Amino acid sequence: MNLQQYLSNYGYMKEIISQTLPNLPSSEAILRHNSLTISDALKKFQKFAGLKPTGKLDVETMKKMQQKRCGRPDVIALRQQGKYKWEKNDLTYSIESLTNELSESEVRDALKKAFDTWSAVTRITLNEISKKG
């Protein structure tokens, strides 16, 4: 497996697109990736692997790439990047049912504490509303 295939297989660059020239056998395909793309992909791999992200194929990077690993990608590309943001940051919730193992106030306190923790590190606020019905 060459460098471009490795970076593509493990999610660091878009899948390699081959273009066969009309008068050449398919084994002589031209790979349409410039060095900037490969350098960016190498930086992503190096950062993920805990290496200094230089974008250059150095000895440490080659050693890391030669280690045994699973066949799944390290990076899963989103089909529509930036399309997964919620439209609002002020969210509401209601408690539909309770467990017999905790009191209503214990459930509410636990949820409030958890949601306050999230709100402290995100731009999301979560507020309870009364149960509809």
- Going from N- to C-terminal start, the domains of the chain cover 3-66, 90-128
Which residue stretches of the chain are H helix? 3-9, 35-48, 59-66, 104-121
Domain 3-66 of CATH type 1.10.101: yes
How far is it, in rounded angstroms, from Cα 61 to Cα 50?
10
Cα distance between residue 81 and residue 70, in whole Å: 26
- Condensed to tens digits (0 to 9), the pLDDT of residues 10-67 reads 888 875 444 445 555 444 444 444 455 889 899 999 998 899 999 999 999 999 999 8
User: How do residues 74-109 score in pLDDT, each as one tens digit?
Assistant: 876 555 555 556 678 899 999 988 889 999 999 999
Q: What is the pLDDT of residue 77?
A: 56
pLDDT of the residue at 130: 84
- Taking a C-beta distance cutoff of 8 angstroms, is the pair 28, 82 a contact? no
